[in-house]
Each structure stands twice: as C-alpha cells, then as structure tokens.
Amino acid sequence: MTGDEVFKHWMQNVQAVDLGDREIMDPARSGKSVGEIVRDAGGGLVFDTEPARYYKLLRELAPDVSGK
C-alpha cells in the first residue's frame, strides 16, 4: 500500500467507524469529539507544576505492606 492508499483507507474505513468527522471516541454514548470528551472530563484546565504526578500518586497511595 502506498502512503496515499493508506491515508484513503483510514479516512474511508476509520472515519466511518470511529472518527465520524473526528467524533471518534464514544458514538455509543454521545457522539462527542475528542476535544469535547477531554474537556467534559475536566481536561485542558490543568496548570500543574508537577505534570508527571500520576505515577508518584500511585506510589503514595500504596499500602504499607510491612505493617499488614
């Protein structure tokens, strides 16, 4: 497949299935676009001095196995 063919393939097949004019994520529930879903979930307003805090938070929430 050439690059053009690949692009056509995913534009035709994927937009029909998943993208729906970029409404890719949740057609079963709302047909929202990626941006709407991320915004509605609370994203886009993060002004965090510690962007990678997720992994740290996981570790912080771990039980103290030595005391269990």
Partner 1 sequence: MTDLPSNPCDATLTDIAAAIAAGQVSSSEVTEASIERLKSYSDALNLLAGIDEGDAMRQAKEADANPGRQPLSGVPLAHKDMFYRPGRMSECGSKIRKGFVPDQLSGALKRLDNAGALDIARLNMVEFALGVTGHNEITGNVRNPWNPLHITGGSSSASGAAVAARATFGALGSDTGGSVRLPAACCGVVGMKVTMGRVSRFGAMPLSHTLDTIGPLTRTVTDNALMLSVIAGYDADDASSANVAVGDYMRGIEEGAKGLKIGLPTSHFMEGITDELAARFQDAVEVMKKAGAEIVDVDLPDAIQYSNALTSLITATEGAAIHQHWMETRGDEYGKQTFARFAGGFATPATRYVQALNLRTALLAEFNEMVFGKVDALMTPMMVMDIPTIKETDVGDGPNAAAMLQRVGHCSRPVNFLGLPGLSMPTGFANSGLPSSIQFVGRPFDEATLYRLGRAYERETEWFKTAPDPGAWGKVA
> Cβ of residue 31: shortest distance to partner 1, in angstroms?
10
**How far, in Å, CA of 47 to CA of 43, rounded?**
10
- Helical segments of the chain, H only: 3-9, 34-40, 53-60
Task: List contacts with partner 1 (CB under 8 A).
Answer: 1, 3, 5-6, 9-10, 13-14, 16-19, 22, 24-29, 32, 34-35, 37-38, 40-44, 46, 48, 51, 53-55, 57-59, 61-63, 65-66, 68
Give the torsion sign (CA, 22, 26, 30, 32).
Answer: negative
> Cβ of residue 13: shortest distance to partner 1, in angstroms?
5
